[in-house]
Amino acid sequence: MTIQLKSLHFSMNALEPIVSAKTFEFHYGKHYATYVNNTNDLIANTPMQDMDLVSIIRHCSGKEEFQSLFNNAAQVFNHEFFWNSLTDKAENKIIPDVLAEHIVRDFGSYEAFETTLLQTAVKQFGSGWAWLISDNGVLKVVSTSNAMLPMGQGIKPLLCIDVWEHAYYLDYQNRRADFVKAVMGVLNWQFAWENYNKGE
């Protein structure tokens, strides 16, 4: 088995001007593709060559000798999760009623959720990710550094935003907050809902 490059489910210019085709050409075509290629190079001729992506990540997590493979495999997962967290379809941008109620239950209001997500994304020092997660049924916003992702008993990622500079620099230069605010308008809440309802 090799790790396959996954297709985007929208065209590279579908999210303009929020994310430009030029950004996708580099972010998807170069950065993401490199993580996929590096992962395949690092698993070749090892027992991990027959594992799926999540199994590779779990196997390598926290092990110094597999740090490089963990970083690349986790970045493949994170980027595919990010592509799926974005949508150009109006129906996917609607928050399902139960999820909307749970956002109010756990953050106080939708506006408070947006503020928390924005602040968390902006405060992440250096490269990383901002996530909406379910922590044993409670909705939370967390950030992770570099290639790290939210993992653990009862933790399910629902949506993520890439806050590495390569995600926004061509379109927003240093203005990470403007990028995050804009991307919050094209989040795929249907994807979040599917993740929320997934079993452990």
Q: Which residues here bind Mn ion, judged by CB under 5 A?
A: 162, 164, 167
Are β-strands 155-162 and 128-135 bridged in parallel, bridged antiparallel, or unpaired? antiparallel
Tell me the closest approach of the beta carbon of residue 118 to Mn ion, in angstroms. 18
Query: Phi and psi for 69 in degrees, rounded to 5?
Result: -65, -45
Residue 19 vs 60, nearer CB to Mn ion: 19
Token pair in block for residue 141: 């916003």
Tell me the closest approach of the beta carbon of residue 168 to Mn ion, in angstroms. 9
Neighbouring CB atoms inside 10 A of 65's CB total 8
Tell me the closest approach of the beta carbon of residue 68 to Mn ion, in angstroms. 17
H-only helix segments in 88-133: 97-107, 110-123
Tell me the closest approach of the beta carbon of residue 31 to Mn ion, in angstroms. 5
Residue 179 vs 191, nearer CB to Mn ion: 179
Burial (0-12, 13-18, 19+ Cβ within 10 Å), 6: middle
Tell me the closest approach of the beta carbon of residue 146 to Mn ion, in angstroms. 11
Tell me the closest approach of the beta carbon of residue 100 to Mn ion, in angstroms. 28
- State the sign of the Cα–Cα–Cα–Cα dihedral 28, 158, 181, 87: positive
Residue 68 vs 197, nearer CB to Mn ion: 68
SS3 162: strand
Residue 134 vs 162, nearer CB to Mn ion: 162
Residue number of the CB closest to Mn ion reads: 162
**What whole-number distance in Å separates Cα of residue 115 and Cα of residue 100?**
15
Residue 40 vs 78, nearer CB to Mn ion: 78
Looking at residue 57, its amino acid is I
SS3 102: helix
Residue 82 vs 107, nearer CB to Mn ion: 82
